[in-house]
Amino acid sequence: MTVTEMLGRNYKEIIYLALFASLVVPMIRPIGLPVPIDKTTADIYNRVDALQPGDVVVLGSNIGAAIYAEVYPQYIAIMEHVFRKEGVRLILVDHGTEAPIFAERALTELNAAGRKTYGVDYVHLGYIAGDEAAISGLCRDLHALLQVDYSGNSISSLSMLDDINGAQDFTIVIDFTASADSQFWLNQAYATYGTAIAFGLTAVKVPDAYAYYTAGQIFGIVESLKGAAGYEILIGRPGIAAKGMDAQSIAHLLYIVLMILGNLAYFMGGKKK
């Protein structure tokens, strides 16, 4: 068999096994490559770190099982950071049907009930259907939109919401998603009320968000597992994200090698398809 012939074959099974191995081996035996911290991530860290007592943080979430691995580590890292700031009020709201489960899970994992008082320091409003209309309603007047919070408590019984009506009272909003709700926050809160917005996104969503970032419309982006790993390091709480970065590196190398080999085959094999 000539080299050209060898490269010309379709090594589907071998490629799959190689990818699997390139992920598994570094997970079991980490190499410990340094994780660079993006400026977009650091911008969010600094903004959260500078929050003052009385400020209101809204964490929107459309986390579902499909994007859990990418976005949940960001969500929990930033939530932890917010909880460390004394007197900062936190509102959790969900834009996807699966998101409430992950919001509750994060609260349990961070022992929110033991550290803070529900209704005074933080609330979980739950999932609101209706896409852009839901976020628009929340920004207009959340008391008019909602009767009860996620656990069924009447909104009027939650004292921290007494002086919070809509987007003009939110200090910052960070939305964690792979869907269009980040755009909805931008359209409804930033464009309409000038509220400061940032996103925690899956990698695929980042390129267009970056154009918003460079135009100064959002103040930061946490980008996929990479950004989560950076944030974990910034707050000194390394977790799953930091652990997975070596596997990322090796698998990336594999893809690049595959692309180069594929092109070699193409050019050596007379450019046939």
Q: What sign does the dihedral 75-77-80-86 (CA atoms) show?
A: negative
Q: Among 90, 198, 206, 222, indicate the residue that binds other proteins (CB under 8 A).
A: 206
The answer to whether residue 176 forms part of the interface with other proteins (CB under 8 A) is no
Q: Among 53, 114, 216, 236, indicate the residue that binds other proteins (CB under 8 A).
A: 216
The answer to whether residue 109 forms part of the interface with other proteins (CB under 8 A) is no
The answer to whether residue 244 forms part of the interface with other proteins (CB under 8 A) is yes
- Count how many Cα atoms sit within 13 Å of the Cα of residue 110 in the half-sphere of its side chain: 23
Q: Among 60, 100, 200, 220, indicate the residue that binds other proteins (CB under 8 A).
A: 100
C-beta separation of 60 from 177 below 8 A: yes
Q: Which is nearer to other proteins, 148 or 235 (CB)?
A: 148
User: What is the phi-psi region of residue 193: left when phi exceeds 0, alpha when psi lies from -120 to 50, beta otherwise?
Assistant: alpha
Q: Which is nearer to other proteins, 85 or 118 (CB)?
A: 118
As a whole number of angstroms, the distance between CA 227 and CA 75 comes to 11
CB of 41: closest distance to other proteins in angstroms?
Answer: 13
The answer to whether residue 19 forms part of the interface with other proteins (CB under 8 A) is yes
Residues that contact other proteins, how many (by CB under 8 A): 96
Give the burial class of 169: count Cβ atoms within 10 A of its Cβ; 0-12 exposed, 13-18 middle, 19 or more buried: middle
Q: Among 1, 2, 28, 114, indicate the residue that binds other proteins (CB under 8 A).
A: 28
The answer to whether residue 173 forms part of the interface with other proteins (CB under 8 A) is no
The answer to whether residue 25 forms part of the interface with other proteins (CB under 8 A) is no
DSSP β-bridge partners for residue 61: 94, 176
Q: Among 4, 46, 52, 97, indicate the residue that binds other proteins (CB under 8 A).
A: 97
∠ CA 11-17-22 to the nearest 5 degrees? 120
As a whole number of angstroms, the distance between CA 232 and CA 142 comes to 32
Q: How many CB atoms lie within 10 A of CB 104?
A: 17
The answer to whether residue 49 forms part of the interface with other proteins (CB under 8 A) is no
Q: Which is nearer to other proteins, 134 or 158 (CB)?
A: 134
As a whole number of angstroms, the distance between CA 54 and CA 234 comes to 24
Q: Which is nearer to other proteins, 88 or 161 (CB)?
A: 161
